[in-house]
Chain A
Amino acid sequence: MKNAVRCSVNGTPCAFTAPPMARLLDVLREEVSLTGTKEGCGEGECGACTVIMDGRIVNSCLVPALQAEGASITTIEGIAKGEVLHAVQTAFVTHGGAQCGMCTPGMVIAAVDLLERIPSPDEAQIREGLAGNICRCTGYTKIFDAVREAARLLASAA
């Protein structure tokens, strides 16, 4: 059983055919060829597969393809504007917020979502906003530094 699913990915109309229970994560990587979204745990614990669906972050490993019908999806590939990095990406680079890179796409998406909801988050709000994203390299300090810097960059650009 396969279904035709129509949605929008990074602002571009997108149609794919997949079993309705195929995971959105697999569809994005294998049908849409956007491999920036990573699979870590496959059960919603680690956040490596985080994407934005209809304005809210979700674990794409837990979304059946059929539920993406009509949805507007943003992946890590849609965060930069062409060659211009998002402030969160710039701050992750300058603060060394990435090491192996496995968690980085999900971490960046969660940080972008956090700063859209809470433009000047305090320490507790940063920790809560990124609590669903696990990093095994950095110890989080440089990631939290990057998010604070991104908040400053966005505030000064506004």
Chain B
Amino acid sequence: MRGDAHAHALVAPADLNGALALLADKSGYRVLAGGTDMMVAFERGLLKESRLVSIWHLAELRGIRVDGPHLVMGALTTYTDLIESPLVVENAPTLAAAARDTAAVAIRNRGTVGGNIANASPAADLPPALLVHDCEVELRSSSGARWVDYAGFHTGYKTTVMRPDELIARVRVPLSSEPLRHFYRKVGTRKAQAISKVCIAATVRPGGVARVAFGSVAPTVVRARGVERELETVLAKGPLTPEAVARIVGMGVTEATPIDDIRSTADYRARVTRNVLRECLMSFTA
């Protein structure tokens, strides 16, 4: 079934406060940014909301800048913006890597970091990278603003801590004083335009703080906290060795609970999860 343009009202308020007022009026408005996911649902006749508020034109939600100890990105930052920003490449390298592996140019010019988070797909490309950079998300409503830890943002399959009157305004990650060691690997059917079967992102900060996150292997994007703890314990004692990598991989990723679906099987995902974890950890032994 095709989408019916007459069945959806779409409005473009003059400013952010106008958008927040619509979200607060309890008439069921949903935010539409670059449309790379919602317009697909619309075309398939699957877009439920009859009232939509376009934020694409709101300059208040754009821009990448340094603010104190953080790199702050507007919610409308596109994948292309992430790739082209030296600040992102320097301070959040896995985020730039994830953006480079997402879709193709035309989608990267329209898809946004805020949309990728709010859409809450466990297979989304940016969330594993956001997790390993200790991202925080700013939720704005007409009654105020709050920063939430992205690690606690997704509460279940396609559910989040966002209230219906809130939108994502900005995201931020800590600036890194020294280069991070990092890894990002997405496994899909082809290099471009693919939705991942398994995705892994990881960082090791100077001082040995480790973050490892997976996409597409659980109802939400997940941190592999057991792996992180083991990795940090090993790094506290000395360099990571191939023997230690084998031991950590052998312990398994308890947060990974993959399923069979249209894109892959639980069996394949479980095997690839181990393999990309090994590849990731081996990259930190050099």
Chain B residues within an 8 Å CB radius of A43? 40, 43-44
Q: Check A50/B43 contact, CB under 8 A, given A21-B10, A62-B36.
A: no
174-205 of chain B: CB within 8 A of chain A: 191-193
Contacts of B34 in A (CB 8 A): 62
Asked whether any CB of chain A lies closer than 8 Å to the CB of B270, the reply is: no
Partner of A58, one of B11, B12, B44, B110: B110
Roughly how many angstroms separate A40 CA and B42 CA in the complex, as a whole number?
16
Could you count the A-B residue pairs with CB atoms below 8 Å apart for me: how many are there? Answer: 101
Distance, CA A113 to CA B80, complexed state (A):
13
Given contacts A42-B43, A56-B80, A61-B39, contact A66 B54 (CB under 8 A): yes
> Is there contact, CB below 8 Å, between A64 and B10?
yes
**8 Å CB contacts to A: which residues of B40-81?**
40, 42-44, 52, 54, 56-57, 80
Residue of A22, A58, A128, A129 with most partner-chain B CB within 10 A:
A58
Which A residues between 42 and 74 are near B, CB-CB below 8 angstroms? 42-45, 47, 50, 56-59, 61-67, 69-70
Does residue B103 face the partner (Cβ distance < 8 Å to A)?
Answer: yes
Q: Tell whether A50 pairs with B9 under 8 Å between CB atoms, given A64-B32, A64-B35, A64-B39.
A: no
A80–B202 alpha-carbon span in the complex (Å):
47
**Interface residues as binary, A106-146 with B (CB distance below 8 Å gives 1, 0 otherwise):** 00001001100000000000001101110000000000000
B215 to nearest A CB, angstroms? Answer: 20
Given A19-B5, A21-B8; A47-B43 close (CB under 8 Å): no
Contacting pair A58 B106 (CB below 8 A):
yes
Known contacts A43-B40, A44-B36, A64-B35; decide if A69 and B57 are in contact (CB<8 Å). yes
C-alpha gap A93/B216 in the complex (Å): 43
Residue of A nearest to B192 (CB): A131
| Residues of chain B with a CB closer than 8 A to A47's CB | 104, 106
Return the contact of A63 from the options B35, B40, B80 (Cβ within 8 A). B35
Is B271 among interface residues, defined by CB-CB distance under 8 A?
A: no
| Residue contact A132 to B107, C-beta cutoff 8 Å | yes
A63–B104 touching, CB < 8 Å:
no
Contact assessment for A132 and B193 in the assembled complex, using a CB-CB cutoff below 8 Å: yes
CA of A50 to CA of B35, assembled, Å: 15
Complex: how many Å from CA A70 to CA B54? 14
Q: A57-B109, A131-B193 are in contact. Are A63 and B39 (CB under 8 A)?
A: yes
B106 CB contact (under 8 Å) in A18, A59, A67, A128? A59
Interface residues in chain A, defined as those with a beta carbon under 8 Å from any beta carbon in chain B: 1, 18-23, 42-45, 47, 50, 56-59, 61-67, 69-70, 110, 113-114, 128-129, 131-133
